[in-house]
Structure 1
């Protein structure tokens, strides 16, 4: 049974669902009612919840999965614009409308033709699951719920709801973010981390790929304006929302507490030409060759190198 504050019920029940108890029983109390006035009702409801046998629904143990239909919406482009701009009201502690499918900004509508064009940027098949292409590398203590260890060939579980996703689903989000097909290899590498939810995630691209697609590694590399930096970083945010099930104020509290860089996604590239003589690039430091490109997804839970 879950004991929680009434203004974070949504966040805690989403967390329980991600861990296999989608219909967990809970008792909530108020943060705002003085303790003595709250205790009697709280204790009574807690004891009642503890003594009642679990219902068949509460006994279910499964991770919630989104609908499996490939097509989310059918209609004109104008109707699709309206559809993708939908919001839902998130109660306290947010008490504000939050976009359902986007980061709050307009997106490029992912039509069949646009997604098909995006997929020309990879040799992977559209229905192929996103899996680990090598054993996961984490440079920190393992934190439960933040991805854990991944072995070669295992499906990636996108945080926070631990969903799986296909190459096509990643391509859909790349279209929405405004990426070009040549950006897709970086997006797929970023997707392999699965840990794009909250915590001020920083994506760093190292290797020749950055120069090939024109990423900004010079002055103003943190500023908006560069298509590759901006759209690849934004795609990371959209994947957290649409593939991982992240919702600010529900199961994404770190980002909702003032995480500036998460507003548009933060993706930068290493300036390999500017490294001092004898210094290795981040790709080489993580066991790759100088002519191999990697994407590092950094956050408080560690560094995921793909």
Structure 2
């Protein structure tokens, strides 16, 4: 408790209890991996801190993450450090945005990454510590601090434990998300999300109906995807395996799935305030009198996960300037 209080006072902590990262604990953590402690993985803004393997290990120990999680942590941070992910804007903006991490491959089982019921929070899983470790790195290495380097108006609960989950590949009718992005096997993808948005549908029975409901639910004027300040935006949607099976039965092509959702995100431009509409028109983003959550259907990103009770999908609205990044998880020697 004394260390947690000191760490909080020094700005290292997040308000929750921390494990003291003693030299012995950090050495033990590193001894189970094959990376040099002083290896620089990436540079993280806004502080432009050099994110070394040792710094990752220190934050992982504090969060209670296992040594076996280091390859995943490294891959996720490499992805966040890519210039196209635009971590500076994500970390400093007034928005509540944070990096969401999707995990693919057998590593889901080895690290207890949730992908079934309650995968976005509430499931009993060791992966909570991995998500928190990533958040501590963003705090302590990237230097994100509310009202100092981050001007976030409200923040988000996800800025404590992160949002980290797996895809239920075994129940998905589509290829794994990372594989669709060119990386097979163990992989992570990071996406800049504003949080989670529940979508309930208790009446639909056919694939196109579910997709229409999802698309129409995503379309609201205050989402960043409709903001003239953002030149583009992706849109991630998590679909439960029951709906996914029905959707695939009725709409076999994933490209068609994306297009149906995208088409239904269109909102009548007259719903926008006049200046809002004028600015979008100047950017050629009003198409046939309608505004869409992303520029093209291909920017609608689909993952399959969640429980088998059905009834719900989840939308993850985009920040707008972050381009999703995917990286392979390179295993340590203990994983063969």
- TM interval, shorter chain, is 0.5 to 0.7
What is the alpha-carbon distance in structure 2 between the residues aligned to residue 296 and residue 302 of structure 1? 10
Pick closer, same or farther for the CA change 1:103–1:80 going to 2, 3 Å: closer
Q: CA deviation at 1:79?
A: 4.7
Highest RCO, 1 vs 2 (Cα 8 Å, sep ≥ 6): 2
Which of 263, 268, 283 aligns to 2:160? It is 263
What is the alpha-carbon distance in structure 2 between the residues aligned to residue 247 and residue 201 of structure 1? 15
Structure 2 gaps, min length 5: 82-86, 193-318, 328-336
Is 1:159 aligned with 2:180?
no
Q: Is the 8 A contact 1:216 1:268 kept in 2?
A: yes
Which of 86, 94, 102 aligns to 2:9? It is 86
RMSD of aligned residue pairs (Cα, Å): 1.9
Report the counterpart of residue 129 of structure 2 in structure 1.
Answer: 231
User: Computing the radius of gyration over CA atoms, which structure comes out larger, 1 or 2?
Assistant: 1
Q: Is the 8 A contact 1:129 1:167 kept in 2?
A: yes
Q: Is the 8 A contact 1:207 1:293 kept in 2?
A: yes
Q: CA deviation at 1:225?
A: 4.8
Report the counterpart of residue 205 of structure 1 in structure 2.
Answer: 103
2:325 is paired with a residue whose SS is strand
Q: Is the 8 A contact 2:114 2:123 kept in 1?
A: no
What is the alpha-carbon distance in structure 2 between the residues aligned to residue 104 and residue 265 of structure 1? 14
Report the counterpart of residue 120 of structure 2 in structure 1.
Answer: 222
Report the counterpart of residue 302 of structure 1 in structure 2.
Answer: 323
Equivalences for residues 1-306 of structure 1 within 5 A: 79-86=2-9, 100-130=11-41, 156-192=42-78, 193-194=80-81, 195=87, 197=91, 199-254=97-152, 256-276=153-173, 279-289=174-184, 292-299=185-192, 300=319, 301-306=322-327
Deviations 1:156-190 (A, max 9, x none): 22022222121011100111111011111111111
Pick closer, same or farther for the CA change 1:125–1:258 going to 2, 3 Å: closer
Pick closer, same or farther for the CA change 1:123–1:273 going to 2, 3 Å: same
2:58 is paired with a residue whose SS is helix
Pick closer, same or farther for the CA change 1:182–1:214 going to 2, 3 Å: same
Pick closer, same or farther for the CA change 1:185–1:202 going to 2, 3 Å: same
Pick closer, same or farther for the CA change 1:286–1:120 going to 2, 3 Å: farther
Structure 1 gaps, min length 5: 1-77, 88-99, 131-155
What is the alpha-carbon distance in structure 2 between the residues aligned to residue 227 and residue 111 of structure 1? 25
What is the number of residues matched between the two proteins? 187
Q: Of Structure 1 and Structure 2, which has the larger fraction of its residues in strand?
A: 2
Q: TM-score if structure 2 supplies the norm length?
A: 0.52
Q: TM-score if structure 1 supplies the norm length?
A: 0.57
